[in-house]
Chain A
Amino acid sequence: GESVGLHLPTLSVQEGDNSIINCAYSNSASDYFIWYKQESGKGPQFIIDIRSNMDKRQGQRVTVLLNKTVKHLSLQIAATQPGDSAVYFCAESLAGGTSYGKLTFGQGTILTVHP
């Protein structure tokens, strides 16, 4: 089962550095994966997604890598900026059936970017 904790992993970086945030997902049947950014007091904001038939997808300053063999997802942020400071969640979803679209979120990682 998934673990739920009050102490989120943290990552502190200097402005301009590259950041890598990791996530282990739980369901090998999941075929859609998303990274969300959540700023304090706000709802999750979509960053980038990837389907299970891909292992890499790039967006603007962000790259998502998917390793289905070990059920691992990572988010790379290039040239991290102070505005990137937030909690980052990975989420997984199943392809079909009644669970289609239901997102199962990971624990989250707090990213702090120092100027």
Chain B
Amino acid sequence: EPEVTQTPSHQVTQMGQEVILRCVPISNHLYFYWYRQILGQKVEFLVSFYNNEISEKSEIFDDQFSVERPDGSNFTLKIRSTKLEDSAMYFCASRRGRNEQFFGPGTRLTVL
């Protein structure tokens, strides 16, 4: 069964460093999303991406964040200068059409 994959599973970085979180969505899906979940809290929307551009972004998704689909298969989330409060689980999700979103297993980002 096709699934969304994410790498790495755990990323530890120093405050101020850049990180890139990687996702491979399900191959025939057209809509892509990043969400984050701070420990013990609910999942929060960050950004949606369709047709090679951002469809919508949340207040969390400030200028330090960017997304890219560089090669038609990968979907990346870049945080330019990480802050302590960026520590969270980051989930990628994809959707084909008017139906369910499939989530990846997540990347745990720890900012020290």
Taking Cβ atoms with an 8 Å cutoff, the residues of A that contact B are 4-6, 8, 34, 36, 41-46, 49, 89, 91, 98-108
Contact = CB atoms under 8 A, between A and B. Distances in A.
B45 A107 contact: no
Interface string B72-112: 00000000000000000001010100011111111000000
A4 to B, nearest CB: 6
Contact of A34 (B55, B56, B100): B100
A102 B42 contact: no
8 contacts: A6-B40, A34-B101, A98-B56, A101-B33, A101-B101, A102-B33, A103-B101, A105-B35
Contacts of B104: 43
B9 to A, nearest CB: 9
Q: Which among B44, B93, B103, B106 has the highest number of chain A CB atoms within 10 Å?
A: B103
Nearest to B45: A102
B12 interface: no
A44 B91 contact: yes
Given A101-B48, A103-B35, A43 B106 contact: yes
Contact of B103 (A43, A49, A99, A102): A43
Contacts of B100: 34, 46, 49
A104 B35 CA distance: 10
A41 B17 CA distance: 25
Nearest to A42: B105
B78 to A, nearest CB: 20
Nearest to B42: A105
Nearest to B102: A46
Contacts of B95: 101
Contacts of B43: 44, 89, 91, 103, 105
B42 A89 contact: yes
Contacts of A42: 105-106
